[in-house]
Amino acid sequence: SKPSQVVQPQPPTVPPEPVASPNCLPPPESTVDLEGTFSWSVSYLEDSNFKAVPVSCFRHAPMSECWEQMSAGMKVEVACGEEGVTKDAFWVATVVAIAGYKAKLRFEGFVEDSSKDIWVDLCSEEVHPVGWCATQGRPLIPPRTIQHKYRDWKEFLMRRLTGARTLPTNFMSRVVESQKSRFRPGLNVEVVDKNRIAQMRVATVTEVVGKRLHLRYHGAPPDDNGFWCHEDAPIIHPVGWSREVGHEIVASQSYHEKCISGTYDPNDAPPELFAITPIPSNFHSSKMNFSEGMKLEAIDPLNLSAICVATVMKVLHNNYLMIRIDSYESDNTCSDWFCYHATSPCIFPAGFCEMNNITLTPPRGYEGQFSWFLYLKKTQATAAPPALFYREVPSHGFEEGMALESADLMDPRLVCVAKVKQVKGRLLKVHFDGWESDFDQWIDYHSPDIYPVGWCDMSGYRLEGPKSQAPKR
Amino acid sequence: SIASVGQKWEQKQVQIKTLEGEFSVTMWSSGVDE
């Protein structure tokens, strides 16, 4: 279905997919295979150039709203591991560094000695607020290496802990709460057809992992492995959405009748479960609007490393637009149109790429230096007025070189080790470690498909490691 | 310093148990409780 042959990063082994049942019942087992999942190693985390995007930069990420309070100097209680005098001994440790959801801890009493420092997942059950052990009736026991240093550890701890910071007692319940999805298996949604992006299909949620939904298309052949997307993704909508906005949808006759009558059943996901499309304050005051034939620049939905010259092919209700990339081969079937909302951060006014020093993919057959002026003249088209675009650029905190975990949107089942390669306003170019730059993806900073370091571990989602030998395209 | 931590921190008494005995200390806890 791709106009260009885009080879996508693949995991070394692909787990067998469960066979889709005709009535789209949830599969009996998880489709996420954690065997061989990548772990951020100490060599990664302690590299002098390593810097993770802070959790607070990802508004959709669990604990994002309070993560700024997690900082070096904070005290926690943690199992001593190999340093334990007994198998399950706990001791107090200080957070010395934070990278995403991961924290480097130094046991109290080691002072400047970093030899026994450990990296932990701060949101995991192995880390507790100071005071937790007492509530469990467990005494704190110093690690074996430093046990000889003090005769009275009580006095030492009193001195070290008084006035220090720790986690709140309900930290773990907050973590659990912030990971809960609004969706559940069995709910029906409308989602972009991965095999024909111009149309929607009805699908059922079969699995939810870390707020990422596994969907099975209704009527899909048994060997179809479904589709993954985040619950806040702009490509999923409530039952009845396509009919409401005038988008093409492939569904059974009974489904269409249900949408006409508005008699939904309890398994049809209601609108309140879906992310609200942000409408900028000046959006309704503008007298102008997008109209058919207008030219613009857009992220290619089939090759996210490219920003291309594009055309508004159709204006739907509720400010949704059908966009076509002008470099696609013409087949007159409308199968490569893609729906973007007028406020989408993935569409840009003509001249955006030039202004931001980004290579613009010209229209098909265009030779030589691309000129918007000449192209508009040649096609007798108009450029969509810049005032129609949503270009708010907040101070988002993403910086070039920062590490993160990112879904590969060409195969959104995969979440991979990645880096921020470029920052252009609110637009990020994400690079997958070890892969050639052809695989890079332009992603809005607010996208729910990018996550902090440690998100996969925390969510029980498989993380694809860096590829050591990237294949040539 | 505590002042730089901001308003979302609150003081609380934390019970600690060691092999030498129990005691309590005053610590700061982030306002995640809220």
Closest chain B residue by Cα to residue A92? B16
Q: What is the pLDDT of residue A16?
A: 33
Measured between alpha carbons, how far is A225 from A217 in angstroms, rounded to an integer? 9
Query: What is the percent of chain A with per-residue pLDDT over 70, rounded to a whole number?
Result: 91
pLDDT in tens, A352-400: 999 999 999 999 988 789 999 999 999 999 999 999 998 889 999 999 9
Query: Average pLDDT for residues A394-411, to the nearest whole number?
Result: 96
Query: Average pLDDT for residues A189-211, to the nearest whole number?
Result: 97
Interface test with B, best of A86, A136, A162 (most B CBs within 10 A): A162
Tell if the CB–CB gap between A162 and B25 is shorter than 8 Å: yes
Interface test with B, best of A158, A175, A177 (most B CBs within 10 A): A158
User: Poorest-confidence range of A12-16, A105-109, A230-234, A326-330?
Assistant: A12-16
- Indicate if the alpha-carbon torsion angle A101, A106, A108, A111 is positive or negative: negative
Closest chain B residue by Cα to residue A71? B5
Nearest-neighbour CA in chain B from A169: distance (Å): 8
- At residue A67, does pLDDT exceed 80? yes
User: Which amino acid would we find at residue B15?
Assistant: Q
Q: What is the pLDDT of residue A23?
A: 34
Query: Average pLDDT for residues A106-117, to the nearest whole number?
Result: 96
Nearest-neighbour CA in chain B from A150: distance (Å): 12
Nearest-neighbour CA in chain A from B4: distance (Å): 11
- At residue A31, does pLDDT exceed 80? no
Among the residues of A118-274, which ranges form H helices? Answer: 132-135, 153-161, 171-178, 241-245, 253-261
Q: What is the pLDDT of residue A28?
A: 44
Per the DSSP assignment, residues forming a β-bridge with B24 are B15
Interface test with A, best of B9, B10, B28, B30 (most A CBs within 10 A): B30
Residues of B in contact with A164 (CB under 8 A): 27-28
CB-based contact, B1 to chain A, within 8 Å: no
Tell if the CB–CB gap between B5 and A169 is shorter than 8 Å: no
Q: What is the pLDDT of residue A285?
A: 61
Nearest-neighbour CA in chain A from B7: distance (Å): 11
CA nearest A228: which of A49, A407, A423?
A407
* Torsion region of B14: left, alpha or beta (phi above 0 gives left; psi -120 to 50 gives alpha): beta
Tell if the CB–CB gap between B16 and A157 is shorter than 8 Å: yes
- At residue B7, does pLDDT exceed 60? no
CA nearest A360: which of A270, A312, A295?
A295
Query: What is the percent of chain A with per-residue pLDDT over 90, rounded to a whole number?
Result: 81
ipTM > 0.95 (yes/no): no
Q: What is the pLDDT of residue A29?
A: 61
User: Which amino acid would we find at residue A220?
Assistant: A
- At residue A471, does pLDDT exceed 90? no
A385 to each of A190, A196, A287, A340, A348, how far by Cα in Å?
31, 29, 11, 16, 10
- At residue A3, does pLDDT exceed 70? no
Measured between alpha carbons, how far is A174 from B29 in angstroms, rounded to an integer? 14
Tell if the CB–CB gap between B29 and A168 is shorter than 8 Å: yes
Q: What is the pLDDT of residue A392?
A: 86
B20 vs A153, A165, A169: nearest CB = A153
Tell if the CB–CB gap between B17 and A170 is shorter than 8 Å: no
Tell if the CB–CB gap between A131 and B21 is shorter than 8 Å: no
Tell if the CB–CB gap between A140 and B17 is shorter than 8 Å: yes
- At residue A282, does pLDDT exceed 70? no
Query: Average pLDDT for residues A150-160, to the nearest whole number?
Result: 92
pLDDT in tens, A415-459: 999 999 999 999 999 999 999 999 999 999 999 999 999 999 999
Q: What is the 3-state secondary structure (H, E, C) of A340-377?
A: EECCCCCEECCCHHHHCCCCEECCCCCCCCCCHHHHHH
Nearest-neighbour CA in chain A from B14: distance (Å): 6
User: Poorest-confidence range of A35-44, A196-205, A232-241, A291-300?
Assistant: A35-44
Residues of B in contact with A169 (CB under 8 A): 29, 33
pLDDT in tens, B16-31: 999 989 999 999 997 6
Q: What is the pLDDT of residue A12?
A: 32
Nearest-neighbour CA in chain B from A140: distance (Å): 5
Q: What is the pLDDT of residue A38?
A: 93
Residues of B in contact with A162 (CB under 8 A): 25-27
CB-based contact, B32 to chain A, within 8 Å: yes
Per the DSSP assignment, residues forming a β-bridge with B30 are B9
pLDDT in tens, A43-65: 899 999 999 999 999 999 999 99
Q: What is the pLDDT of residue A368?
A: 81
Mean confidence (pLDDT) of chain A: 90
With beta carbons less than 8 A apart as the criterion, state whether A93 and A80 touch: no
Q: Tell me which of A24 and A332 has the higher pLDDT.
A: A332
Query: Average pLDDT for residues A159-164, to the nearest whole number?
Result: 96
